[in-house]
A and B are shown apart, each in its own frame.
Chain A
Amino acid sequence: EKVMTQSPGTLSVSPGERATLSCRASQSVNNNLAWYQQKPGQAPRLLIYGASTRATGIPARFSGSGSGTEFTLTISSLQSEDFAVYYCQQYNDWPRTFGQGTKVEIK
């Protein structure tokens, strides 16, 4: 099973600042990685797939990069609606696995 490890666990950022979230795979997942945003009481929302392709309707301030075992989600200028928990998910192998999440909170 591919273990996905996200860091940091919590990221404190001021509105307008840049946020950089990391996701590391225990073995290569090629570029078969997705990112999700989840707000309290809501279902996850797909942000990025294929490590770097934005899903439909996702603002350009969200960008993904990386391949193999190291991936990054960058939010270029945090808006109030971006404070949430973010998860990565690999779909290179079975079972599909998620990271433990990074909470982005207001500084």
Chain B
Amino acid sequence: QLQLQESGPGLVKPSETLSLNCSVSGGSFSRSTYCWGWVRQPPGKALEWIGSFYRGGSTYYNPSLQSRVTISVDTSTNQFSVRLASVTAADTAVYYCARHGRGGCYWFDDWGQGTLVTVSS
């Protein structure tokens, strides 16, 4: 049973960098055919795709965030991370890590529980 778990600070100051990790357990992370990603959801609002990557392959970012976001993978552990620079209150959201389904960056079939990040001084 695949499990994803987000972790990181729940409070970030404006202009600083938000950094979150996603721990993956239960298999499939080592398989390069799977695509993994980050999605966020401001309180009371819709889902927004942040970016996705194939382990050992390409990374794709939402153009609206591309200048500020970096997704990276720790190949020694079953973890991947997202960093979002120069945050503002508009970046306050629940951040989810997720796995895309069936070997492509298509739909998301497994999600972490999400972690709320608040941007405030």
Chain A residues within CB distance 8 Å of chain B: 1, 32, 34, 36, 42-46, 49, 55, 87, 89, 91, 94-101
Contact = CB atoms under 8 A, between A and B. Distances in A.
24 contacts: A32-B106, A34-B107, A34-B108, A43-B111, A43-B113, A43-B114, A44-B47, A44-B96, A44-B108, A44-B111, A46-B101, A46-B109, A49-B101, A49-B106, A55-B101, A55-B109, A89-B47, A91-B105, A91-B106, A94-B60, A95-B63, A98-B47, A98-B48, A99-B46
A100 B61 CA distance: 20
Given A1-B63, A32-B106, A43-B114, A96 B101 contact: no
B46 A101 contact: yes
Interface residues of B, number: 22
A95 B111 contact: no
Nearest to A56: B109
A4 B13 CA distance: 32
B10 interface: no
Contacts of A34: 106-108
Contacts of A98: 46-49
Given A1-B63, A43-B113, A96-B52, A91 B46 contact: no
Interface SS of chain B: helix, strand, loop or mixed? loop
Contacts of B112: 43
Contacts of A46: 101, 107-109
A23 B114 CA distance: 25
A98 B112 CA distance: 18
The interface centre, meaning the residue of B47, B63, B106, B113 with most chain A CB atoms within 10 A of its CB, is: B47
